[in-house]
């Protein structure tokens, strides 16, 4: 997952710098620098959307596998011990343990998502700054 993001970011950065060199050579085309910047932005957005979709698919598969494993484990323990969990709102026993494991997993997932969003935000800010500086550099005669 991290490698996919890194690859997408690297491709975006390369396309940004490639666009800067192309725009410096072909200033007579209609649209000029703004068209190139627009194309680079669209490429970066597409790479970001594709990466995000791939991450969501991976998360979904992982969640399904973990949920299935948890349910199977719970069923096996019930069969082995003969303990049936209470249907009360805050029962003890096996359901309490299952809830604690679930809560921990959710906490870890939220933490990972937060870290990913922070990295994504930082990368976006850096790419924006780089794009603006390249644009200003190529605008100057």
Residue with tokens 């604690």: 100
In tens, the pLDDT along 53-109 reads 998 898 899 889 988 988 888 888 888 877 766 666 666 677 777 778 888 888 888
**Is residue 95 one of the residues assigned to a domain?**
no
What six digits make up the tokens of 111?
């933490």
**Is residue 126 one of the residues assigned to a domain?**
yes
Helix (H, G, I), strand (E, B) or coil at 112: helix
Q: What total number of domains does the chain contain?
A: 1
Taking the whole predicted model, whether its pTM rises above 0.75 is answered as: no
Structural domain of 19: 2-72+107-139
Contact 124, 107 (CB under 8 A): no
**Is residue 7 one of the residues assigned to a domain?**
yes
In tens, the pLDDT along 6-28 reads 666 666 666 666 555 555 555 55
Contact 20, 34 (CB under 8 A): no
């Amino acid at each position: 997952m991290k490698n996919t993001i890194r690859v997408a970011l690297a491709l975006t950065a390369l396309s940004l710098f490639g666009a800067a060199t192309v725009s410096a050579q072909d200033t007579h085309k209609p649209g000029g620098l703004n068209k190139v910047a627009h194309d680079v932005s669209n490429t970066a957005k597409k790479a970001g959307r594709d990466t995000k979709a791939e991450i969501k698919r991976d998360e979904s598969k992982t969640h399904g596998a973990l949920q299935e494993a948890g349910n199977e484990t719970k069923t096996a323990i019930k069969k082995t011990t003969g303990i049936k969990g209470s249907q009360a709102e805050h029962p003890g026993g096996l359901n309490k343990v299952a809830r604690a494991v679930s809560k921990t997993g959710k906490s870890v997932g939220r933490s990972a998502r937060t870290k990913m969003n922070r990295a994504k935000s930082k990368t976006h800010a850096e790419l924006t700054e780089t794009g603006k500086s390249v644009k200003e550099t190529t605008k100057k005669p």
